[in-house]
Structure 1
């Protein structure tokens, strides 16, 4: 295999088209320079330079090889700095998983802060439910998750990013929209309900049944996405329960109603990571996340 020294010798001769001047540039004598070019051509298996006593010229193969040689030398020169940047966490890749509902609240702000403070870090995003994020963080296919609790603190580092209220969403003009106070159990029990799916959207389902008197005989639809729930409510298919941040969806034809003290601040969103991770970009990003979580 050829060496970087051989590439530097070839590049100097190719640019100067004169062995004597190339030797001066390289601060060496001509005989070892000539030997380096000969060895390079032997490794490559083609003539790269045509030379006689009067002239030196690149062959067609030599011109093509010069482009590649310059690229290799440039990469070799960048490699140490790139390694130092990655080791310092100012460069590299950060793979982030997120729940769909996190886009209504913290995701955009968090990504902006990472871009501003770690411009050399490439962020890769993947929308996943919480369980798949847990699996990805444990296996190493994800560096960071933005997901719903709970998490095992022995495995995961956890930082609370955001808390918000669980709210009732009803069609515009619905009698509950004008009540001026949280609905009673009797009022909720008389309504057709759209519930989060207990399997795919278990977090919101668990919150709803924990704080509200749910009559499952009144459930007309179960769906997994918050946006779908609000859209069905706007279509007057029933009423439902969503995080307060769902209001940013801007879906017309619905009204959001507070559910009272029991539903205040109960919707939680966490940043999670593997405590055993050695990705320097993650550890730099965590400092950004810790600062951001104080103002989100």
Structure 2
């Protein structure tokens, strides 16, 4: 690498996934720990500034520099941030670590499974207790994420009209033409698809069936984690189901299909 650290927004894995593929440390801080002021919003309820570094120590240094309350972001936790201090050694005796059974899923590569098992064995040898836990709504999570993502994207992207924000088209014979051409030229196919789909989900006839239902299932997903953390202190999961795919293989699938695979472990 050529720098000490990098920052990038993480909604459903956009910091952690590339970190996993490139063999560096990627952290999505707890929502509300780091200010989002200055971050281009994609999905307000999920966006967090993420950190990429070479080592855990470097990551802690960056987190200590950027975490804490900010009057310019109402979602930040208001109490002062206590800086992270990494000890010289960590005693794992008595620590309870859970492995979600649902993450042994289709698409999990042999390489990742071997590494996952090896790390679990290492933690157990060091004194931790490793047990299986269940997150029953895992299979629904990617669909909930997709619906809420697209609904919020359609709202957030509405500000890019070529006047206040975003690219401004040269075709501006009328306000209507300026809006239409600026958005047509400024957004790629993935963003356009999310805007259109999000608006569809938010139609009055679809609102309860998609958006409200997704919010309800998100609560059930959160309750899964609450129940798991009543039994264990940490969860041990892969970040991605495989090593970095070849570009030629990656482009064979649609963005939606790739997200369903690559974000499986990170979007819950």
**Which TM-score bucket, shorter chain as reference?**
under 0.3
Higher strand share: 1
TM value normalised by structure 2 = 0.19
